[in-house]
Amino acid sequence: MRLLTVDAESAGQRLDNFLLRLLKGVPKTHVYRVIRSGEVRVNKGRATADTRVAEGDRVRVPPVRTSASAAARAEGETAAPRVPPREFPVLFEDEHLLALDKPAGVAVHGGSGVSFGVIEQLRRAREGRPGHRFLELVHRLDKETSGVLLLAKKRSALTSLQEQFRERGTHKVYQALVWGNWPKGLKVIDQALAKSTDAQGERHVHVVAPAHDQARRAITLVRVREALAGASLLDVTLKTGRTHQIRVHLAHAGHAIVGDPKYGDFAANKAFARAHRSARMFLHARELGFDHPASGERIVLLAPLPAECETLLASLR
């Protein structure tokens, strides 16, 4: 039996997430099983997976096998693939937060058929380093999107930054290459979005009427940066942060993002990839502004356009 004391950095976490971080190599199903069975106790009382732990709480954990292969055999599961350590280009770092320049084609976290992403690989690379016991994503980027990705190294920083994202205290600018000539008069897209799931379990986002029961207002600002051969390079500013907001808004306007595999023009994407040897979606999180969670200083981070995007633009000019 182990007795764990919740520290300041873990305060506010759900019990399941707290245990999954500490019990590395133990299958998730086993962690949830011991919680459901009542074998895990918080301050001597039963708790559920969504119980929030507080600093100083005493968590009793039954004996568990921390060998991934042994635990997997015990659960009748296949052991999860080992996460390879990986560092990513750093745009800013201090004791409170870390900003990366995420490459396209890398998920920010594991799940939905992805074994691991940026956060798992980075935790593995920085395992055991001072000041890296806590490392969490502040927000997310699509797998196909490159650019500024913000992580927190302290829980206080995480809650402060996530509050800024919720309250629209951040400034987010993307660069997108879309098909066709963007109408110069179309500068604001204010259209509600809603999510749906198809028969295969894949999630989609759609423009819906504001009265739709799942509608969430979404506002996107668009400025034409450059007109190119058969395409337009745009600066896109998010006033809200809905899932797939830019991709859906631009596609709904009749100008899908070049290379978008979900909402794009599939035939055009295929022909374009053959002609230019570029299969990536051209959406890049170029700029992120926010207030530093400790000092309050306004921070503006810039991620340069990736070399493959610059090369593509040069070929279109």
Burial of 282 (0-12, 13-18, 19+ CB in 10 A): buried
Other beta carbons within 10 Å of 219: 17
Between CA 96 and CA 160 the distance in angstroms is: 11
Q: Which residues of 77-97 are buried (b: 16+ CB within 10 A; e: fewer)?
A: eeebeebeeeebeebeeeebb
The catalytic residue among 142, 190, 213, 291 is 142
Location of structure tokens 């969490």: 136
Location of structure tokens 């066709």: 180
Angle between helices 28-36 and 68-75 (to 10 degrees): 60
Burial of 202 (0-12, 13-18, 19+ CB in 10 A): exposed
Location of structure tokens 């750093």: 90
Between CA 145 and CA 148 the distance in angstroms is: 10
Q: Answer for the pair 34, 16: CB distance below 8 angstroms, yes or no.
A: no
Strands (E), 122-210: 136-137, 146-152, 171-179, 188-190, 193-197, 203-207
DSSP state of 282: -
| Catalytic residue list contains 198 | no
How is residue 304 written in tokens?
Answer: 């340069």
Between CA 251 and CA 254 the distance in angstroms is: 5
Q: Find the angle CA(157)-CA(110)-CA(147) to the nearest 5 degrees.
A: 60
Smallest CA-to-CA distance from 122 within 95, 89, 81, 79 is with 89
The residues assigned a catalytic role are 142
